[in-house]
Amino acid sequence: MGEEANKTERPTEAERRARLASERVDLLERRVDQAFAERALALNALVHASYSNENPESGFESNERLELLGDAVVDLAITHRLMERFPRASEGELSKLRARIVNEEGLARIARALKLGEVLLLGRGEELTGGRERASVLADALEAVIAALFLSNGLPSVMRFVDVVFAEALDGVAHGRQGQDHKTLLGELAQRLYKVPARYRVVGEEGPDHEKIFEVEVSIGPEVYARSRGRSKKEAEQAAAQATLAMLAPGTPAKSGDEPAP
């Protein structure tokens, strides 16, 4: 009877793998802050080729096919956001801006921030040689996760994810596009002309938390000069500063959509 109890309590290899898979998907959902409608796709995104090669009996397919699709989906999502931010940019400029965001190191950096390496299923050899921190492994895994979101939940789910995890990278290319920090330039100009700093105030917010739009106004002394909107406070402040510079220093191009304050 004791032997029978031990047999009952000891999970089979299939049960152990099923529990492991469920735990990894749970962790991934917490990392991306979304639930996958098709959890099998989420698991597939986490399986490195080394694991499926070393454990063929598991039945787990590697994430290579998802990685291929994810490469295209992330290009689509980032290009969409860049076209929204830079409606007058040429195809060539948009391509260069996208390349500054969608590259192995940039994707790996986001994967590390999400601690994606911790939830990957790796083969023993890949594990022992530092696969969980290898840039190529992490970048490929992030693309696979994005593909899984796309197939499981649809493009809107991908765009929500991109708006959160790529926000800093998108802000970075937005600020660097003109080769200058408009807030810094405006601060220097305000001090030189009026001997007071430029001040920024959030005057409006709209949309759900994951797609919030901020409206910021900039003032110098008692005068309000411009209001601008952005997907982050930093982006809106930079846009408002750029619009104000265009008013005070006509050589500075105003960003499309910015307007003087009423």
Give the CATH number, domain containing residue 114: 1.10.1520.10
Query: Does 156 lie in the same domain as 37?
Result: yes
Query: Does 153 lie in the same domain as 94?
Result: yes
Active site residue 71: yes
Sequential pLDDT tens for the chain (262 residues): 455 545 556 777 677 777 878 899 999 999 999 999 999 999 999 999 999 999 888 888 999 999 999 999 999 999 999 999 888 888 988 998 899 899 898 899 899 999 999 999 999 999 899 889 899 999 999 999 999 999 999 999 999 999 999 998 888 887 665 445 688 788 888 888 888 999 999 999 998 877 789 999 999 999 999 999 988 888 899 889 989 988 886 544 444 344 444 4
Please count the CA atoms within 13 angstroms of the CA of 249 that sit on its side-chain side.
15
Query: Does 120 lie in the same domain as 31?
Result: yes
DSSP code, position 121: B
Rounded to 5 degrees, φ, ψ at 185 are -60, -40
CA 135/CA 141 separation, integer angstroms? 10
Among 124, 155, 175, identify where a domain stops: 175
Active site residue 61: no
CA 192/CA 44 separation, integer angstroms? 58
Among 117, 141, 175, identify where a domain stops: 175
CA 231/CA 215 separation, integer angstroms? 9
Which of the residues 67, 71, 235, 258 is marked catalytic?
71
Query: Does 183 lie in the same domain as 171?
Result: no
Query: Does 212 lie in the same domain as 155?
Result: no
Look up the pTM and report it.
0.64
Domain range for 12 is 2-175
Query: Does 208 lie in the same domain as 144?
Result: no
Rounded to 5 degrees, φ, ψ at 38 are -120, 100
* Strands (DSSP E) found in the chain: 198-206, 213-220, 223-230, 259-260
Which of the residues 143, 217, 235, 237 is marked catalytic?
143
Query: Does 185 lie in the same domain as 164?
Result: no
Rounded to 5 degrees, φ, ψ at 67 are -60, -40
Pairing of strands 223-230, 198-206: unpaired
- The CATH number given to whatever domain includes residue 248 is 3.30.160.20
CA 250/CA 88 separation, integer angstroms? 19
Residue 49 exposed, middle or buried by CB count within 10 Å (0-12, 13-18, 19+): middle
Count of the separate structural domains present in the chain: 2
Query: Does 147 lie in the same domain as 126?
Result: yes
DSSP code, position 62: P
Q: Cα 97 vs. chain centroid, distance in angstroms?
A: 15
Among 175, 207, 223, identify where a domain stops: 175
Query: Does 149 lie in the same domain as 22?
Result: yes
